[in-house]
Amino acid sequence: MSGRACQVLEACDIVVGYKTYLELIKDVIKDKQTLATGMTREVDRVQAAIDAALGGHCCALVSGGDAGIYAMAGLVLEMLALKKIACNTGEQGGLWVEVVPGIPALAAGAALLGAPLTHDFAAVSLSDLLTPWEIIEKRLDAAAFADFVITIYNPKSKKRDWQLNRAMEIILKHRAGTTPVGIVTGAMRDNQKIVLCALKDLDKAEVGMQSIVIVGNSSTFIYNELMITPRGYSKKYEI
């Protein structure tokens, strides 16, 4: 957590969030008022935060990773826009919103794997709850074609069990079966698990709700169990 995130949690009087995340920061928020909601209740959670803020409270809405990457900052601003609540303008009846950046899951996962994101990369979520699957396929295909390192968010859940295998097939059209893949589950948490495999074996790897999957580009290699995407220095300089 950043210094700014700690300051903000210190300053607010209500903390809203998914219950698992509130549990993770219970030592930081101590006895502050909390409003916890379950998974997939994102709209309710944001509404609760907006209501608290409109009621004059200083309210923090907590996300895992970075609040702006596939997370709640977007829904907060989208709902304020839909409801035409003025935001950061100083108008009467409006709200002030600060988005506090954090360490995204892709950065935490990459750090645990070594340095797979040293070159151009794409982030794709496999969740087709809010995005048509054809768009997700199109993005996977384009990212694989152009040799992006690919970070896969929401690779699998109990209900969404075939999407990752299909993603593997699409990427394999453009990339070698031996391409290194890193899977980080529960990054920086007690259940943290790091697994490396070849792209062709991704369908056999253990992947879950808390996993992020990073597929290397055509230059990515493994050294001492670390995943490394070179930037290109060794082509230009004597190392």
Q: Calculate the alpha carbon distances from 69 to 32, 100, 140 in Å.
A: 26, 12, 18
Interaction mask 107-136, a copy of itself, x per CB under 8 A: xx-xxx-xxxxxxxxxxxx---xxx---xx
11 binds a copy of itself (CB under 8 A): no
Interaction mask 66-95, a copy of itself, x per CB under 8 A: xxxxxx-xxxxxxxxxxx--xxxx------
Angle between helices 42-54 and 72-82 (to 10 degrees): 60
* Window 44 to 63, contacts with a copy of itself (CB under 8 A): none
Smallest distance from the beta carbon of 191 to a copy of itself, in angstroms?
18
142 binds a copy of itself (CB under 8 A): yes
Provide the 3-class DSSP secondary structure of residue 10.
Answer: helix
CA distance 138 to 31: 47
* Window 179 to 238, contacts with a copy of itself (CB under 8 A): 221, 223-226, 228-237
- Our CB check for a copy of itself shows the closer of 18 and 70 to be 70
158 binds a copy of itself (CB under 8 A): no
Strand order in the sheet with 59-62: 33-37, 14-18, 59-62
Residue pointed to by tokens 């608290």: 52
Instruction: Tell the burial category of 67 from Cβ atoms under 10 Å away from its Cβ (0-12, 13-18, 19+).
Output: buried
Smallest distance from the beta carbon of 214 to a copy of itself, in angstroms?
11
How many residues in the shown chain lie near a copy of itself by CB under 8 A?
Answer: 80
